[in-house]
Structure 1
Amino acid sequence: MTVPSAIASFAVVAGMLTVMPGLDTALVLRSAITQGRSRAFATALGILSGVLVWGVAAAVGAAAVLTASQVLYDALRLAGAGYLVWLGIAMLRRTLRERGRRGASGGASGGAADGAGATTTGESWARSWARGLGTSLLNPKNGVFYMAMLPQFIPDGSSHLLMGVVLAAVHDLEGLVWFGALILGTQLARRWLERGSVRRAIDAVTGSVLVGFGVKVALGGE
């Protein structure tokens, strides 16, 4: 296998993984809807930064050690599960707080409040990036994927580290195109999606999914 053919083959596999609906897509869409384009891109870049880390780790053998050691795998799995549950609960709590404030104000000036909410409740760019990075790094399935797939696309005689970076960069480029399309597409309906009731519903659904997914990961579910 030559380097160009290895890159092309990996691009097909990684592309299929990229477009599959999952936690990363849900987080980016949620950020685009509730925080805006800039924060959504920050979240996406955080996720893609985590992918790059996993690619490099797999290339130097760290992911192989991870899957070879049940203790390390379980530790990372439980840490990831805890992070997901914490993230989901935080979203659910925010939904309840906003609903309580809206009820206390009697629902007055709903349109103005909804518009202001997208700005006053926004988080920093760095925090959005860190959220995406943490989600990616604390997902053990990312490590398992790279450990299982990446070595198959490293030609004999090539630098494992360099190929790991290149292949992860290819995956990141595909992810950037995919996330960019999702984010820009979401903005077409943003005036409707920025409504407070819609944001609360999205946070409630996303938070519930995150908690459920975290529990499933903690229990070792596939």
Structure 2
Amino acid sequence: MPTTLIAFLGACTLVAASPGPSTVLIIKQSLHSRRSGFLTVLGNETGVFIWGVVAAFGLTALLTASEVAYDVMRIVGAVVLVGFGIQTLRQARRTKGAEGTDEPVWEGAPKSDWASYRGGLLLNLANPKAAVFALSFLPQFVPRGAPHLPAMVGLAALWAVYEVGYYGLYVWFVGRMKSVLSRAGVRRRLEQVSGGVLLLLGVRMALDG
């Protein structure tokens, strides 16, 4: 059991370290504030847990078996990603006026806690690959002889909690660097990069049949 747990946490680390849309969104929101970044993490991990529970009940198999259902989710996910990308690129344009100064740039209206949480949750739930991955990932670490459903739900919860801590380090680091990252020129370039990445990921998901 301890060996299985260590292997599971090691695999969770590799999964979290792989760059993806959630990582981009968490860093982007952390530029706004630590609170916004952390709530985005909580939203994302709520989605991770939900997909884990869905996989535990075997419902994800229906998604993989139905090409229509998968394609619908894929297009919805692509729209969500493109929407986030366009929103971020617009923020970069608004920052352009302050470029050339070393003064920190702050957005005028603070994002609500719900908006930050919802963004992380929506991005995760709109990704069908996250659902399929949970279905293939979690069963590998169910201890032999253990009840399948409780073990899968427990692993999903552990996965989500572990990633809260992992991505929390991202939020902390961006917060520590905020005095530099919030300068107009730096902020604009980071927003351009993150917006472009989200946009490209959305297009890629739409074209990935």
d(CA) in 2 for partners of 1:40 and 1:216?
A: 25
Task: Provide, for residues 80-99 of structure 1, a one-character-per-residue CA deviation record: whole Å limited to 9, x for no partner.
Answer: 01110111111112222343
For the 8 Å contact 1:59–1:164, the answer to whether it is kept is yes
Residue number among 74, 82, 85 corresponding to 2:79 in the alignment: 82
d(CA) in 2 for partners of 1:97 and 1:193?
A: 16
What is the number of residues matched between the two proteins?
209
Structure ID, larger Rg: 1
Task: Supply the RMSD in Å over aligned alpha carbons.
Answer: 2.2
Residue number among 188, 193, 215 corresponding to 2:181 in the alignment: 193
Give the structure 2 partner of residue 140 of structure 1: 128
For the 8 Å contact 1:18–1:174, the answer to whether it is kept is no
Runs of 5+ consecutive residues of structure 2 not aligned to the other structure: none
What are the equivalent positions in structure 2 for 1:68-79 lying under 5 Å apart?
68-79=65-76
Task: Provide, for residues 130-159 of structure 1, a one-character-per-residue CA deviation record: whole Å limited to 9, x for no partner.
Answer: 000011111111111111122233345544
What are the equivalent positions in structure 2 for 1:15-164 lying under 5 Å apart?
15-33=13-31, 35-99=32-96, 102=97, 114-115=104-105, 117-118=106-107, 120-155=108-143, 158-164=146-152
Runs of 5+ consecutive residues of structure 1 not aligned to the other structure: none
Residue number among 8, 11, 25 corresponding to 2:9 in the alignment: 11
3-state SS of the aligned residue for 1:61?
coil
For the 8 Å contact 1:87–1:210, the answer to whether it is kept is yes
Residue number among 186, 190, 195 corresponding to 1:202 in the alignment: 190
1:220 counterpart = 2:208: yes
d(CA) in 1 for partners of 2:54 and 2:3?
A: 22
Task: Provide, for residues 90-143 of structure 1, a one-character-per-residue CA deviation record: whole Å limited to 9, x for no partner.
Answer: 1112222343xx27xxx79x566x44x24x243111100100001111111111
d(CA) in 1 for partners of 2:84 and 2:174?
A: 22
The amino acid across from 1:27 in the alignment is L
Question: Aligned-pair distance for 1:42?
Answer: 0.5
d(CA) in 2 for partners of 1:153 and 1:111?
A: 50
3-state SS of the aligned residue for 1:136?
helix
d(CA) in 2 for partners of 1:24 and 1:85?
A: 13
Question: Aligned-pair distance for 1:192?
Answer: 1.2
For the 8 Å contact 1:7–1:167, the answer to whether it is kept is no
Task: Provide, for residues 155-199 of structure 1, a one-character-per-residue CA deviation record: whole Å limited to 9, x for no partner.
Answer: 455443322221112212221221121221222221111123322
Structure-1-length-normalised TM-score: 0.85
For the 8 Å contact 1:44–1:179, the answer to whether it is kept is yes
3-state SS of the aligned residue for 1:52?
helix
